[in-house]
Structure formats: structure tokens, C-alpha cells
A and B are shown apart, each in its own frame.
Chain A
Amino acid sequence: MENKATDQQIDEFLALFDSPLDAVRATADHIRNTWDQNSPTLQRPTPTTPLIISLDHVSKTYKVGKQRLKALDDVSLAIHAGEIVAITGKSGSGKSTLLQMIGCLDKPSSGTVLIDDKNPRKLSDNKLSLLRQRTIGFVFQSFYLQPFLKLDQNVAVPAMFARQPIRVMNDTVTSLLQQVGIDEHRKHFPKELSGGQTQRAAIARALVNQPKIILADEPTGNLDSVNSAAIIDLFKKIRSELGTTVIIVTHDHQIAQQADRIITLSDGAIA
């Protein structure tokens, strides 16, 4: 569990701004070593791991014209640290809305969302941004890499917002690119890569701030089955090595089957 950063650890991490260079190096080494250890202890979380995400009777209603559209209807769920959870359902079933609740991009109309023990509803836009920055890594179906930035720069973007020390940022980016297996393309632009490689870069980007949660919205939607499988394997590897919680929204049953748990949504409620 030591890889899951607590608030205290984040604070310590941020304190590195003022640290001597050695300390910065040490941190980067630590990150690299963690990857290299390939620890087997995190294969599958026990129910004893702490709750990282909990939704308690969460509903979300949108106003579309004069009609009220219930996107989420009394959803309660609990996800423990280190779990891989698949969220499935037909389109319009509310899975994107649920993802946005968990991703702190949206606030519920009623009910309580707790992300890493924090209630997004009570946070200012600024604090909410910081919560996303430090706790959540996003992976999108269309990758959303900046077409005019090289891969290593693309991966570094969230670290730029987190104002990581430059040296730490460079080291982190390098090890992440190695880990996702596209280090030789670090100076390439996204359009020079295949879909699978692009999504690997996007995953590296999601990991650059060492989040506790990865939220992947149809991460294999634009990939063939071979690449899809590889991406799921990558998620598993990340979970086992970093203890990261991975939430995958997908309508692909084969992908969902790979998860520890499947949550199926239907008409905004858990089926």
C-alpha cells in the first residue's frame, strides 16, 4: 500500500520544490525502482484495502429544455483501492455521467460522492482542479493528445499543471514511456504513431502525476482486439505495480470480463 499517496505524502512531494537536488533524484529513483520491483503482492486487492471511491444514493438530473432527464438514479457503490472496475451499459445508460461524478468533473444533484475521502461538492473549482490533478488520471477514447507536441511533451502536460520540478518531470516521463513501451517514439508527434501506441502515450500521460485512480472512458473504443487486449494488460500491470485503482467505462463485454468487478448501468441505475 505504500505506493498510494496520502495527502501527507502529496504535501511531502510538493515540498520537494524546495528540496535539494539529491532529494529530487531520490524521488525519481524511487518511482523507477517501484516499477522495477514488479511486486507480486498487489495482484488483487483484498476487501480490506480502504475505500477510494464511494457513491451514496447519488442522483443526477439534467434539464433538457423543459424536460428533466435523470441520468443517474439513486446509485450507490463502493470501490476499494487497487480494484479494476468495469462500468458497462448501453449508450444513454448513464455510464458517462457516472464517470464524470467519479472524475470530479460534475457534481451530483443529490447524494454524496466521496473521492479519496473528499467530497467534490464541498470543494471550490480551484480545489476540485487540484483534486483531479493529484488523484485522477484520465484516459479518453479519442486519446486527445496535443497534435503539435511530441510524445514526451504530451505526457508531461499534467505534470506542467502540477508544477512538478523539471528534473522529476523528465525522469518520470522517461520511465513512464519505457513502462508503456513507446520510449523509442518519445520525439515523435502523435500522428506518427498507431492507435495503440497513441493510447499508451495517453495512459502514460494519465499516470504522470501518480494518481490513485485512472478513469478510462472507452479506452479501447478506437482500437483493434490485439491492441485492446494489450491496453487491458497494461492497466493490470499498472494496478499490480502502482496499486492504482482503474475504472474502465466500456460497452465491450470482452474487455469488461477482464475487470475484477463489473458494474452494469441501465437507465441510470445499477442493474
Chain B
Amino acid sequence: MIRLRHALQLANTKLRSKRVLLFISIVISSILFAALIAAIILFTAAEKSAVNFVAKANNGVYRVEVAPVIPSSIYSRGFDLSIEDIRNIKAIEKQYYAEVAAKYAAAGVKYDATTEVPALMPSAFASETLPEEQRVRYNFASPVVQYEQNIRMAAYAKTAKNKLADLKLVGARYGATGYYEDSYFGTAQIPNMKVVKNGKEDFADNEAKHSNSMNESFSIHNGDYLIKDASLLTRYLLPIAEADKGKGIPVVVSAQEVAKLFGKDASIGEQPDTPKEKSAWLQSIQTKFAGYTYQACYRNAAEIEKIEMIQRDYATMTNNKDNKEYQAPALQYNLPTTACGDITVKQDTRSAAEKKITDQQLADQKKLGNYIEPRHQLLTFQIVGIVNLRPYSLYSANIGSYLENLLAADTFSSSAYIPKQLYEAIPDSLIPVNDTPTDQQEVVDIYATNGLMPHVLDFPTVTAARDFIANETCPSGDSSCKKLFTSTPYGSNYLLLDEIGKVFSKFMSYALPVVLGLAAIIIWFTMMRVMAENRKETAVYRAMGARRRDIMAIYLTYGMIIALRIAVFSLTLGVAAAFTIHSIYSPQLTDIAVASFGTITDGLQFNLFDISSPYMYFVLLSIFAVSFVAILQPLVRSVRRSPINDMRSD
């Protein structure tokens, strides 16, 4: 057969025919492949950069929050109660009030059975066809409802197969570590706090506020603090000088609320719009407020109740100022006038008899152990971490906020957080006395003491985390979950990245065949035309003794020269395009990423240029493959032609 160097020599002569067509088809094919190559370069880099930021934010581990699936029959208080349910509830109700009566008797306090609230009440929605006894529903005002649920929960806990110990066995198969306890309910562990500003509490601004978007939070305002394992908060923690540490209850709070409440102290305004400004804004808050202290007044539930009563009385008195028939309360108080000051009595015009009744009630409460002294305590908080809240919409119009969501989808709720280990290290004098009545904590306790709280697991790789989630858990909130646990990625949206990876693979699985197909058609057409043009020459070669395989060798060499040109052009074009996009957008994306993660990122860059993807080399190889395939059909046709006919056509 003809030598390669001669095949090359003869193939080269064919590059001179159909030059315009050849040029156009090389350019179009190159643009198609270049687009593919650019997409691969950009995506590979973006994914890697995002993974780097995620790894930085997650301390190199991939977190999943896992909660045991508690059957709805355990915690739900349905309307469709069976006869057995109803009889069971009634028995429990009887038992509950018997216990209460016994407690009163033991304390020597007269028990008034008329204060009992029945556990069941008639249901307006019950079907007429049901027997009278069954046309009832839970009465949520009754303490029995909670009591009954606690019994059910305790019974479930005894046989549950999804306690912490079980979770650890499952997690071990995926290399999970950590198992940090988290809270189900987001119940504030230190509630009812008012920020002290300018040396006073603002009682007029007493209402709890609710944020309308993920861009604002009122955690400090509402005194909404959750204690959380410090390991789950490390990404937000700021460097604080050793001497400044332990000046107050350590808190991680949102940059947005800090700016709103204390921004004026440090000449910091509200959150700006552009990524660059946002990134700078965030970093200046991180710098200026690391270790910043503020005070808030903690008033316990009894005192809050008292203050609310005082405020109600004030309002009523003001409204009835001109009402002759209105009788002001006999006992009136003054609201505290100093920061975290005492409530003082304004006037007490009660009769001796009235006083006696009140005193008797108080004495009875004390005997029963139900009385809580109203109490307040001025607390000092120290900002040890800043979190950046992000807009919530996943379908934002602008690419920046889309990316923010993509990168930093965060499980940071509207609460402020107290890192547990840091909290435990501060002096006792700074810690508020917890006198929340135990019965309000009971459910949490049943979950907690039985290892049925949600836990956060650390996985060494994204794959391990993903596999664990897929194999062992349902998505959080899946009411028809048949598995033992539900889960949600924790801390940042690395799994979404993984999903995007899948989407890219899917995109490639469509785009690659389309591009290859188009390129094949273009090359095929060009080859047809070139071979048609060269028919006579082929016939002459055949007359001179060229075998079919020689002709094939020449044209295949020719095809490979064209493939090489397409490969070189598309690689150059694709790399250049990707690099240009990288140069333009990388700084901007770095700002967005820094702002999104809200962590100190040590100059980590968000790159858009990475040529390490095997996909890219696959595309380059496929250019040759597709050229080979596209040339075969016209080539086979061409060599099957009789040389005589082609020579005759002179």
C-alpha cells in the first residue's frame, strides 16, 4: 500500500480543490466544537472553584443534617380519631387530672375541678354518619393533649430504630463523623431579650418582628438565640484577639441586622447592591464587628407577662381617659425607666380582702411549685461570627444572585446562634439563669434524651454524602417517607453543585451528539463535493495501478488533515473564548462568591478557566472520529466507481 508520506503528499493536493467550501465547513465545524470546548472549560473551572469555596466553607467536610422519621401517628393530633383513640385519650385525661388533684391535695391546696379543660371537643367537621362518641377532635387548649402525646412519644422512643446509636451504625458505612446535635424546633434557648440601646430598653418597640425576605433578620431584636455546636458555625467565626475573648455571650449574627442595629457606630450603611460593594461591605463588617459587644435585657416569662399586662393596662387607661364609668385598676405599676431596671409599684389602692385573695393565690402557686418569680438580668453579648444572608429565590433573573444561591444555599435560619463550646467557656456571671418552666421543654427532652434529635453528620467526600442521602434517607419534609431518616444538605449547597454537574453531563449528552451530528453532516457534504470534483483524478490513479485501499488511504489522510485543522482551530477558538470570559467575569464572580459564603476566603479565586477536563480531550478525539465516519460513506462510494466511466466523461 501507498506510504503515509506519499498519501500525505497526494492528500495535500486535494486541499487545493473546493477551497471555499472547505474553508467554510472547517470554520463552521470549528465554531461548533469551540463552543463545546469553551463550555467544558468554563464549567469545569466553575465547578472546581465552587467546590473549593464549598470546601473552604465546610472545612473540607460535606455535611448532612439527618432527622429520624417519627411516624405521623406519634406526633400528629388528627381529627379522624378511632373509637380506641378516643377511649384511650379519655383514660389518659382521667389519669392526668387525678394526678393534678393528687398534687393539690399533697400541697394542701384546694383543687377546683371546674378549671379542668377537656381533652376532646365536638368536631364541626365530623361526618354525620359517625356515632356521637366519635364526632370529636382534640382540644388543643387542654394540657392533656401534650401530656398524651408525650406518653405516645415515650412509648415510641422505646422501640425506635432510628435513634442516634442506629444512625451511627448507618453513617459508619459512609465514613460519617461529627454527629453534632441540632434542634428540631428552632426554639430559642435564651428567649425574651430586649436590646439595650443608648442606655435604655424601648418598650414601645416591643413587638416581635418577622423578616419578609432572606435579606433581613430580626434575631437580635426578637431575642431569638439558638445554641448550636460550634463545629457547625466555624465558617462564620471571626478571628478575635485573645484578650478580647469571653467578654460576653458569644453570638453569630447576620451582617444585615448588625448593619441595621449598630452600623452607625462604625459608619456602615445598609447592604449595597453590586457584588463588589457587597463583598467589601461584608468584609468591613467582619473586620469592624469581630468581638463587638452589646447589651440586652433578659426578662423571664413571668416578668414579660407582667410587662405585657402593664402595657395593656396603660393602653386601656389611655383609651378610657374621658370615660366616667371606667374604673382604673387598683394596682398600677411603672415600666422600668433604666436599662434592665426594676418594675416599680405606681399605686396600690386594693382593699385588704382583695390583697388577701391575691396573696392566697400566690401562696398556693408556691406550694404547688408552679410559681416563678419575675426576674431580669442585664446580659452582655459578644459578636464572634457574622453570617451573610442571601436572597432566597432560586430563579433570579441576574446571574450573580443565581450564583449566590447556587454556592451558598445556607441552612442559616432567622435565628442568631450561640456557639455551644464558646458559650460553655465564658464565666458563669455572664450566663443567664434558665428558669423556663420544665413542662415547656418536655417534648424536646423526650427527643433529646432518646437520641431522636436531628444530628449533623460530616462526610469525607461529596460522593459519600450523596450516596448516604440517596440510599438511607428521604428528602426533608417528605411525608410519605418509607425510610428511617430524612435529610438535608447542611451548611452550603454542595449537593446542588453535584446536581449541576449532572445537569452538565446531561447537557453534554445532548450537545455532544448534536455538535458531532452537525459536524458529521458538514464534513460529509464537503467530502462528497471534493470527491466528486476529484473523480477523474481518482480514475487516473486507478488506471496507474492504485488499488482501492490506496485511494482510501489518500482520502482518509485527507480527512485526518481536515480533522486536525478543525481540532486546532476549535481548540484555539474555544480556549481563547473561555479565557476571555474568564478574564471578564472571574473577578466579579470572586466577589459574589466571597459575599455568598460570607467567610474569610484567603484570596480564594473563582476561576472560569480549567483545561483539565477529560471531556475536552474526548471532544478533540471525537473530531477525528466524526471526520473518519463522515468520510467513509462517500469514500466507499467513490472507490466502488468504475474508473472507466470517470475517464470517459472527458
Contact = CB atoms under 8 A, between A and B. Distances in A.
A220 interface: no
Given A103-B543, A140-B647, A144-B536, 16 more contacts: A96-B648, A105-B642, A105-B644, A129-B542, A129-B545, A133-B546, A134-B545, A136-B545, A144-B537, A147-B13, A153-B9, A157-B10, A158-B545, A161-B546, A161-B550, A205-B544
Interface in B525-560: 536-537, 540-550
A126 B540 contact: no
A149 interface: yes
B643 interface: yes
A144 B540 contact: yes
A266 B540 CA distance: 27
A146 interface: yes
B637 interface: no
A211 to B, nearest CB: 9
A106 interface: yes
A148 B16 contact: yes
Nearest to A160: B6
A138 B544 contact: yes
B13 A146 contact: yes
A159 to B, nearest CB: 9
B648 A161 contact: no
B547 A161 contact: yes
Contacts of A141: 650
Interface of B: 1-3, 6, 9-10, 12-13, 16, 536-537, 540-550, 642-644, 647-648, 650
A239 interface: no
A148 B1 CA distance: 22
Contact of A105 (B6, B16, B643): B643
**Chain B interface SS verdict (over half):** helix
A23 interface: no
B636 to A, nearest CB: 13
Query: What are the 3 A-B residue pairs with the smallest beta carbon separation, nearest first?
Result: A133-B545, A160-B6, A148-B13
A123 interface: no
Nearest to A209: B545
A149 B550 CA distance: 18
A162 B540 contact: no
B648 A146 contact: no
A162 B3 CA distance: 10
A138 B2 contact: no
Contacts of A137: 544
A100 interface: yes
A158 B6 CA distance: 11
Contacts of A148: 12-13, 16
Contacts of A103: 543
A161 B13 CA distance: 16
A162 B12 CA distance: 20
A160 B540 contact: no
A160 B650 contact: no
Contacts of A130: 545, 547
Contacts of B545: 129-130, 132-134, 136, 158, 161-162, 209
A125 interface: yes
A90 interface: no
A126 B547 contact: yes
A162 B647 CA distance: 21
Contacts of B541: 157, 161
Contacts of A149: 9-10, 13
A55 to B, nearest CB: 17
A76 interface: no
Contacts of A133: 544-546
A142 interface: yes
Given A100-B644, A133-B545, A144-B537, A163 B13 contact: no
A138 to B, nearest CB: 5
